Amino acid sequence: MSQETDIPDLPTEITPQSQDFGRWYIDVVRRAELADYSPVKGCMVIRPYGYAIWELMQQALDKRFKATGHVNAYFPLFIPESLLMKEAEHVQGFAPQVAWVTQGGNEVLEERLVVRPTSETIIGTMYAKWVHSWRDLPILINQWANVVRWEKVTRLFLRTTEFLWQEGHTAHETAEEAQEETMKMLGIYKEFAETELAMPVIEGQKSESEKFAGAVNTYSIEALMRDGRALQAGTSHNLGQNFARVFDIKFQARDKSVQFVYGTSWGVSTRMIGAVIMTHGDDGGLILPPRIAPYQVVIVPIPRGNWKETVLPKAQTIRDDLVARGVRVMLDDRDTQTPGWKYNEWELRGVPLRLEIGPKDIEKSQVVLARRDTREKSFVPMDGLTPKVEEMLAAIQKALYDRAVQFREEHTTAADTYAEFKAVMDGRPGFVISPWCGSATCEADIKAETQATIRNIPFTSAPATGKTCIKCDGAAIALAWFAKSY
RNA sequence: CGGGGCGUGGCUCAGCCUGGUAGAGCACUCGGUUCGGGACCGAGGGGUCGAAGGUUCAAAUCCUUUCGCCCCGACCA
């Protein structure tokens, strides 16, 4: 197998990351046709190519939810005002972000409805009706839904007024079971992110001020984007008995006493698509991990002479062989575009592997394979092609993950003093691991002065014994991971 | 919600300062030659210049109002 060293420059149509990362992101989303702005302020249209990525993510997640005993259901989009108002902390957290429905047809509603920002309240109300005995537990329900949060500042995929997500809502007999569920689902998110999205994440606990409104504890997975900012990619909440008390979700326990259930909720959203873009993309556009790429291989036939009688049938055969093995393939046989144009287009859209085939290849019974991640080209014999393609897709998946891990390691720094901390945040941003005293005041001051927030306190974080808070010099309770975030 | 910027064919923009009846590139349609890293030639189609009002013989251009969007900051999956 020979390698071509002559890799052409990346196209210039997309703003380079180094010039303006935010602009680069928007350019990629729009040029790759993942999404577009809609006529509705703050809302986006997810285009077929972007939606195909979401569908692949959904399938991968749904499979995992089912495998751990969860079932899907669907709850209403509208929530009566009185339900939302029941849990004090929850209301306070979401009130500024809810959209109200005040009128139906021509009639003013007696009770206003909110468009769900999340469904704890309406699901809790139903659980109260369904749970009577410890034998009814646990309830392990997930729903795939849209939610609406009135946002002042929106960004495609990362924060839009309406977005798609899944929200799991479970009810358990004991506090221990609820905590176990909370951790299990966070673990599933981590495993999903790492194996399907090739995106390494840090699992940990949120600080009190970053916690979900109404939860006892919130845990998150945090990923590092290529501009050095962190992105919360998924959350899992232990709700304790907070919602159970308010919604009266009671059951008769094994000891005949009446108890409130222990709840959890957990979710990931279409924001994950933004995370993938900003984890793997380069100046040439999108780079998709093979496992969630709508097209894993694009076949570009070289149209020359009577190619429709020679090259094209061979390309079709190759496609059929790959499809038979479950590989997602696009055969780009348009004769309105040149091969070079197609190379650039599909690279921009992140297709992991390109297969070129022309008359010369047919003579030699070979094809050209070009990797999107390294942009390396190689000649591969037609014989044994399918296994070779599968092998390369797996190699790309792994390479993307390894590269992302390396990037994160290179952009993670420990800082025991505030001076060091600020130096890193001003310089090359990323995660900074620092001792923290646990005070919300210190946390807020650090944010005000450096824009960095506590992303989470990883489970694997070393104990902070003997260390002092970078802000107030008080005894540290933990080594927290700080970063500027999306 | 504060600061900045922008609304002109599908897209990116020029034209506005100094009013004179709308232009370029790309995209699109048709025909032909091409095609191994964003092809070329020829012929076409497409815009009441975000909206409303005003000034003027005449407004994309000047004035007023208004709507929308984008970017940067305070709140959030």
Q: What is the dihedral sign for C-alpha A470, A476, A481, A486?
A: negative
> Between A56 and A447, whose confidence is greater?
A56
Q: Quick one: what percent of chain A has pLDDT higher than 90?
A: 78
**pLDDT tens by residue, A251-281:** 999 999 999 999 999 999 999 999 999 999 9
CA A380 to CA A363: how far, in whole Å? 13
Residue A23 — very low, low, confident or very high, per pLDDT cuts 50/70/90?
Answer: confident
- Give the nearest nucleotide to A12, CA to C1': B38
CA A43 to CA A37: how far, in whole Å? 7
Report the pLDDT value the prediction gives residue A62, as an integer from 0 to 100: 98
- What's the mean per-residue pLDDT of chain A? 93
**pLDDT tens by residue, A416-440:** 999 999 998 888 889 999 999 999 9
- Give the nearest nucleotide to A285, CA to C1': B38
DSSP assigned state of A15: P
Which nucleotides of strand B lie under 7 Å from a protein CB? Answer: 1, 28-29, 34-39, 68-77
The burial class, CB within 10 Å (0-12 / 13-18 / 19+), for A41 is exposed
Q: Quick one: what percent of chain A has pLDDT higher than 70?
A: 98
Is ipTM over 0.85? yes
Between helix A311-324 and helix A385-410 the angle, nearest 10°, is: 70
Closest-CA residue to A14 (of A242, A273, A284, A294): A284
Q: Are A331 and A276 in contact (CB under 8 A)?
A: no
**pLDDT tens by residue, A181-222:** 999 999 999 999 999 999 999 999 999 999 999 999 999 999
B35 closest protein residue (CA to C1'): A338
Q: Are A293 and A285 in contact (CB under 8 A)?
A: no
- Give the nearest nucleotide to A147, CA to C1': B77
> Which of A2-11, A113-122, A153-162 is least confident?
A2-11
Q: Mean pLDDT, to the nearest integer, of A404-415?
A: 96
- Give the nearest nucleotide to A25, CA to C1': B71
Residue found by looking up tokens 């509208």 in the block: A78
**pLDDT tens by residue, A334-372:** 989 999 999 999 999 999 999 999 999 999 999 999 999
DSSP assigned state of A11: P
Chain-centroid distance, C-alpha A380: 34
Query: Does residue A460 have a pLDDT over 50?
Result: yes
CA A379 to CA A344: how far, in whole Å? 19
> Where are the strands (E) in A273-337, listed by range?
297-301, 329-331
Report the pLDDT value the prediction gives residue A150, as an integer from 0 to 100: 86
CA A55 to CA A49: how far, in whole Å? 10
Classify the phi-psi angles of A464: left when phi > 0, otherwise alpha if psi is within -120 to 50, otherwise beta. Answer: alpha
**Tell me, in Å, how far CA of A31 is from C1' of B15?**
28
Closest-CA residue to A331 (of A361, A303, A373, A305): A303
**Tell me, in Å, how far CA of A336 is from C1' of B44?**
18
**Tell me, in Å, how far CA of A337 is from C1' of B40?**
13
Report the pLDDT value the prediction gives residue A362, as an integer from 0 to 100: 96
Classify the phi-psi angles of A42: left when phi > 0, otherwise alpha if psi is within -120 to 50, otherwise beta. Answer: left
Distances (CA, A) of A212 to A85, A239, A273, A353: 16, 9, 22, 41
CA A264 to CA A179: how far, in whole Å? 8
**Tell me, in Å, how far CA of A411 is from C1' of B38?**
35
Q: How many CA atoms lie within 13 A of A69 on its CB side?
A: 9
Tell which CATH architecture fits domain A412-483. Answer: 2-Layer Sandwich (3.30)
- Give the nearest nucleotide to A267, CA to C1': B77
Report the pLDDT value the prediction gives residue A318, as an integer from 0 to 100: 98
Distances (CA, A) of A396 to A273, A375, A399, A406, A415: 18, 11, 5, 15, 34
**Tell me, in Å, how far CA of A313 is from C1' of B3?**
60
**Tell me, in Å, how far CA of A251 is from C1' of B75?**
38
Report the pLDDT value the prediction gives residue A391, as an integer from 0 to 100: 98
- Give the nearest nucleotide to A157, CA to C1': B77
Closest-CA residue to A245 (of A90, A135, A111, A139): A90
- Give the nearest nucleotide to A448, CA to C1': B74
β-pairing, A71-72 vs A139-148, is parallel
Report the pLDDT value the prediction gives residue A9, as an integer from 0 to 100: 55
**Tell me, in Å, how far CA of A182 is from C1' of B23?**
62
Report the pLDDT value the prediction gives residue A40, as an integer from 0 to 100: 78
**Tell me, in Å, how far CA of A43 is from C1' of B62?**
36
Q: Mean pLDDT, to the nearest integer, of A445-463?
A: 91
Evaluate the omega torsion of the peptide bond into residue A138 and state whether it is cis, within 30 degrees of 0. Answer: yes
CA A209 to CA A476: how far, in whole Å? 17
CA A406 to CA A412: how far, in whole Å? 10
Residue A22 — very low, low, confident or very high, per pLDDT cuts 50/70/90?
Answer: confident
- Give the nearest nucleotide to A96, CA to C1': B75
**Tell me, in Å, how far CA of A271 is from C1' of B66?**
35
Query: Does residue A6 have a pLDDT over 60?
Result: no
**Tell me, in Å, how far CA of A30 is from C1' of B9?**
21
Which DSSP string corresponds to A378-407? EEEESTTHHHHHHHHHHHHHHHHHHHHHHH
Query: Does residue A10 have a pLDDT over 70?
Result: no
Distances (CA, A) of A397 to A199, A318, A404: 10, 22, 11
**Tell me, in Å, how far CA of A146 is from C1' of B65?**
38
Residue A12 — very low, low, confident or very high, per pLDDT cuts 50/70/90?
Answer: low
**Tell me, in Å, how far CA of A59 is from C1' of B73?**
38
**pLDDT tens by residue, A291-300:** 999 999 999 9
Question: A63-72 in b/e burial notation, b at 16+ Cβ within 10 A?
Answer: ebbeeeebee
The class that CATH gives domain A288-399 is alpha beta
Q: Name residues whose C-beta falls within 8 Å of residue A132's C-beta, 6 or more positions apart in sequence.
A: A251, A252
In CATH terms, the superfamily for domain A21-280 is: Bira Bifunctional Protein; Domain 2 (3.30.930.10)
B75 closest protein residue (CA to C1'): A152
- Give the nearest nucleotide to A37, CA to C1': B69
Q: Mean pLDDT, to the nearest integer, of A145-163?
A: 89
- Domain locations along chain A: 21-280, 288-399, 412-483
CA A100 to CA A81: how far, in whole Å? 9
- Give the nearest nucleotide to A368, CA to C1': B36
> Where are the strands (E) in A225-361, listed by range?
230-240, 250-252, 258-260, 262-269, 297-301, 329-331, 353-357
Helix (H) or strand (E) holding A220: strand A217-224
**Tell me, in Å, how far CA of A18 is from C1' of B17?**
35
B39 closest protein residue (CA to C1'): A338
Query: Does residue A7 have a pLDDT over 60?
Result: no
**Could you tell me the two tokens for A209?**
């001020």
B12 closest protein residue (CA to C1'): A13
**Tell me, in Å, how far CA of A367 is from C1' of B38?**
22
- Give the nearest nucleotide to A40, CA to C1': B68
